[in-house]
């Protein structure tokens, strides 16, 4: 991790307050995490930060950005990393529940961008809270074709919702706890929280 990155993290802590974000834990993790090493042409190690993509899925276009993608020549594997900053420490189960779909979409996108990665990729969530770092390996389907079918199904469902040919159903989630409309929401689950 470069000094300018550390300074940037410390500035975030100053802006939002140490009760919401503590830079030192992130800095310490980044200094020791092998995935945070820089690209190295001589070894074949490649690193991309904020890798943006726009990819067609059926009649839709999927737009996103992977926080970090690493090609590890020793493992011959592409590693997708996504970073989360949370107010409280989340369990591995909570992180998977909240973000596994996002990570599957990133894995699908990587397979579209680099077909050779389809059989040799892994995905990890790294969540920073004000007390700890939680690092979670995200399970991906064994076969890319399963992932492809799942993402195409999600895109088709989204297209139907947007077109109004399918009714959108409310789903309760952790975000409901912070929703400005929770008290006036007609969905009873929101009001009972």
pLDDT in tens, 40-89: 999 999 999 999 999 999 888 999 999 999 999 999 999 999 999 887 88
pLDDT of 188: 45
- How confident is the model over 108-122, as a mean pLDDT? 97
Q: What angle do CA 143, 147, 148 make, to 5 degrees?
A: 110
Among 137, 32, 166, 20, residue whose Cα is nearest residue 88: 20
Radius of gyration over alpha carbons of the chain, in Å?
19
Q: What's the pTM?
A: 0.82
Among 42, 37, 41, residue whose Cα is nearest residue 79: 37
Lowest average pLDDT, out of 14-18, 82-86, 125-129, 189-193, goes to 189-193
- How confident is the model over 151-160, as a mean pLDDT? 88
Q: Spell 121-154 as b/e; 16+ CB within 10 A means b.
A: bbbbbbbbbbeebbebebebeeebeebbeebeeb
What is the biggest distance separating any 2 CA atoms in the chain, rounded to whole angstroms?
Answer: 60
Q: Could you give the 3-state DSSP secondary structure of residue 12?
A: helix
Rounded Cα distance, 9 and 176, in Å: 29
Has residue 192 got a pLDDT over 50? no
**DSSP strand pairing (60-72 vs 77-85):** antiparallel
User: Cβ atoms within 10 A of the Cβ of 174, count?
Assistant: 12
């Amino acid at each position: 991790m470069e000094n300018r990155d550390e300074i940037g993290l410390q500035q975030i802590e100053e802006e939002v307050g140490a009760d919401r974000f503590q830079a030192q834990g992130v800095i310490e993790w980044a200094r020791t995490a092998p995935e945070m090493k820089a690209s190295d042409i001589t070894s074949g190690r490649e690193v991309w930060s904020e890798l943006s993509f726009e990819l067609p899925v059926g009649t839709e276009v999927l737009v996103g950005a992977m926080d970090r993608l690493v090609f590890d020549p020793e493992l011959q594997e592409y590693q997708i990393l996504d970073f989360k900053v949370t107010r409280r420490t989340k369990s591995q189960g909570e992180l998977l529940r909240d973000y596994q779909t996002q990570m599957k979409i990133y894995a699908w996108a990587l397979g579209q961008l680099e077909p050779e990665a389809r059989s040799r990729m892994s995905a990890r969530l790294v969540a920073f809270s004000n007390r700890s770092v939680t690092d979670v390996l995200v399970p991906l389907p064994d076969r890319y074709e399963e992932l492809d079918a799942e993402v195409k199904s999600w895109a088709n469902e989204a297209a139907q919702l947007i077109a109004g040919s399918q009714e959108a159903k409310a789903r309760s989630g952790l975000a409901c706890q912070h929703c400005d409309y929770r008290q006036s929401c007609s969905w009873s689950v929101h009001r009972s929280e």
